[in-house]
Amino acid sequence: MSAGPCALGLDFGTASVRAVVIETQTGVQRGSAVATYRHGVIERTLPGTSIRLGPEWALQHPGDYLEAMCEAVGGAVRAAAVEPARVVGIGIDFTSCTILPIDRDARPLCLRPEMASRPHAWVKLWKHHAAQPQADRINAVAGERGEPFLADYSGRTSSEWLCAKVLQIVEEDPAVYDAAFGFVEAGDWVAAELCGTLVRNACAAGYKGLWSRERGFPCADFFAALHPALRSLPDKLPGEIVPPGRQIGGLTSEMASRLGLRSGTAVAAAIIDAHSAVPAATVVTPGRMVMVIGTSTCHMLLADRHEPVEGVAGVVADGIVEGYFGYEAGQPAVGDLLGWYAHHVAGPGPDEAAVFETLEREAANAGPGGHGVVALDWWNGNRSVLGNADLSGVLMGMTLATTRGDVYRSLLEATGFGTRRILDAFAACEVPVTELIAVGGLAERSPLLLQVYADITRRPIALAASPNASATGAAMLGAVAAGERAGGHASFVAAAAHMAALQPGRVDPDPARADLYDALYREYLELHDHFGRGGTAMMSRLRRVAH
């Protein structure tokens, strides 16, 4: 079968990169390949040395990205059996905030021999969590100064974000800070490697870099209030801010030959991996919310207006699909919570998957309300809408007759109530959400979860068709960057019409169960507000006992 024009999607995850080759006009995935990073996640010692890293550190090797990319692209193109010339555009999604310091030539500092032994010269992976003290100070200083950016993040920035990571560098190794020409997202750096042009994608800049289209980055005075040397940080954030999917250049001849593709092939501005699932789930206009349900859940939504929705993790103009405000909210423990329980009852051993299946079946039999057990799903704190990492889990209503299925169901329902609470926050600002689209392994595995969520939220839920939504979204970026005349697409709407799809069938709410859940949701809200809104500070006191 001869292929039509194709787009290449590159999905850079935590341990590996996936390349997919997708026909732009049919959405048919012609080929796919995965390559793991040679050094994986670097948590103990710097590569080739015995230099030890501190607790909560997580680094990567930038060379791994290029090496694995070449391998994956080669594999995907071979599997696709398409002429290189048929690949018209390349899109990238990447974990974030994953940043590295570079020199004036966009060369990673860690690859310069005199810098290789300095941990702070390396790529800081998104889950490098050693900058929590810095994040705490950023939040305090920003709060004191009344920094306007705080409102876009519901008052709290994360230790995972760019500002905390750079502040850690300047405090712990000022020589690296001084030597850095700039600090860039790894996704933007890979895009620059492909086409020679360094830009910053608006998605990562906005959701992880405190940038907004209206205000730009925070002002130099704010950075100086964190650390005197940081006054120069605005100068160390090089690159125009560009919406994901905008063409930023053509593939260099050097990279074209390494990848076996045509030089000049359109390269798109990158996007964060989670956000890449949004267009892949057919969501390129307002009204439908995408939920990426995995260990945690990320909720994403497009809207015409910028509203102060309570508890959002970020609101970014052009942050997901150009022309719209992208809203992000989150629940920090969903699959992790169910996994905790499965492990809790199963103990160590290889049969966790079987336990999971049994629990799902027993929970389905338990019926709504798990015989009177209600939970707060805060095993990893609460992101939206309360924004309090010190909150913790609650189970209540147990009797001697309570079964495992009852408890498991109550945990599942609690995550559904948490989702409904987020929808309520959007509704309070008149940002409409009429339908839910689920993406991710847990959503695929648990029909019960989908039904419970539909019943609790009174909204139909569809599943995205692509088994690798982020990679598909990246390919859509490549197609939009290529443009219609080159065999790509003129807009995300056109790209979605040809390249994105939902699975047939959708899960509709059952009115009787929805009525029952209305009553249980009121109980959830009472617990939510009692423990989460100042009824008691018991949870933060108990967190101190935990250490």
Instruction: Report the residue from 190, 274, 337, 442 that binds its own copies according to the rule CB under 8 A.
Output: 337
C-alpha 114/C-alpha 179 separation (Å) is 11
Site string for its own copies, 428-467 (x = CB under 8 A): ----------------------------------------
CB of 339 to its own copies, least distance (A): 9
Q: In 3-state terms, what secondary structure has residue 123?
A: strand
In the complex with its own copies, the residue whose CB is nearer, 369 or 488, is: 369
Among the residue ranges 86-94, 130-138, 297-305, 370-378, the one whose residues contact its own copies (CB under 8 A): 370-378
Distances (CA, A) of 192 to 65, 140, 188: 13, 35, 6
Q: Which residues pair with 29 in a beta bridge?
A: 22
Pairing of strands 297-303, 461-463: unpaired
Half-sphere exposure of 275 (CA within 13 A, CB side): 37
In the complex with its own copies, the residue whose CB is nearer, 362 or 484, is: 362
In the complex with its own copies, the residue whose CB is nearer, 428 or 542, is: 542
Among the residue ranges 128-136, 418-426, 474-482, 521-529, the one whose residues contact its own copies (CB under 8 A): 521-529
C-alpha 220/C-alpha 241 separation (Å) is 18
Among the residue ranges 16-24, 120-128, 333-341, 470-478, the one whose residues contact its own copies (CB under 8 A): 333-341
- Give residue for tokens 């994986």: 40
Nearest to 495 by CA among 459, 460, 466, 463: 466
**Position 521 contacts its own copies (CB under 8 A):** no
**Position 386 contacts its own copies (CB under 8 A):** no
CB of 369 to its own copies, least distance (A): 4
C-alpha 403/C-alpha 454 separation (Å) is 24
CB of 408 to its own copies, least distance (A): 11
Find the farthest-apart pair of alpha carbons in the chain and give their distance in angstroms, rounded. 70
Instruction: Report the residue from 127, 404, 458, 506 that binds its own copies according to the rule CB under 8 A.
Output: 404
> Are 397 and 373 within 8 A, CB to CB?
yes
Nearest to 368 by CA among 520, 140, 150, 529: 520
**Position 399 contacts its own copies (CB under 8 A):** yes
**Position 129 contacts its own copies (CB under 8 A):** no
**Position 111 contacts its own copies (CB under 8 A):** no
C-alpha 385/C-alpha 391 separation (Å) is 12
Instruction: Report the residue from 34, 333, 342, 412 that binds its own copies according to the rule CB under 8 A.
Output: 333
Contacts of 168 (CB under 8 A, 6+ apart): 120, 130, 131, 134
**Position 407 contacts its own copies (CB under 8 A):** yes
Q: How far from chain centre, in Å, is Cα 123?
A: 18
CB of 336 to its own copies, least distance (A): 6
Q: What tokens were used for 335? A: 């699959």
C-alpha 103/C-alpha 101 separation (Å) is 7
CB of 538 to its own copies, least distance (A): 6
Contacts of 358 (CB under 8 A, 6+ apart): none
**Position 539 contacts its own copies (CB under 8 A):** yes
**Position 426 contacts its own copies (CB under 8 A):** no
Among the residue ranges 131-139, 394-402, 460-468, 474-482, the one whose residues contact its own copies (CB under 8 A): 394-402
C-alpha 191/C-alpha 92 separation (Å) is 7
CB of 523 to its own copies, least distance (A): 6
Among the residue ranges 169-177, 323-331, 399-407, 458-466, the one whose residues contact its own copies (CB under 8 A): 399-407
Instruction: Report the residue from 141, 395, 429, 501 that binds its own copies according to the rule CB under 8 A.
Output: 395
58's enclosing H/E stretch is none
Instruction: Report the residue from 196, 234, 294, 372 that binds its own copies according to the rule CB under 8 A.
Output: 372
CB of 407 to its own copies, least distance (A): 8
**Position 392 contacts its own copies (CB under 8 A):** yes
Angle CA(325)–CA(293)–CA(11) in degrees, nearest 5?
A: 70
Among the residue ranges 14-22, 113-121, 281-289, 400-408, the one whose residues contact its own copies (CB under 8 A): 400-408
Answer positive or negative: Cα dihedral of 505, 303, 95, 335. Answer: negative
The DSSP call for residue 433 is -
In the complex with its own copies, the residue whose CB is nearer, 42 or 337, is: 337
Nearest to 137 by CA among 167, 177, 116: 167
CB of 342 to its own copies, least distance (A): 11
Q: Which residues are at the interface with its own copies (CB under 8 A)? A: 333, 336-337, 340, 344-345, 347, 369, 371-374, 379-380, 392-402, 404, 407, 519-520, 523, 526-527, 530-531, 536, 538-539, 541-546
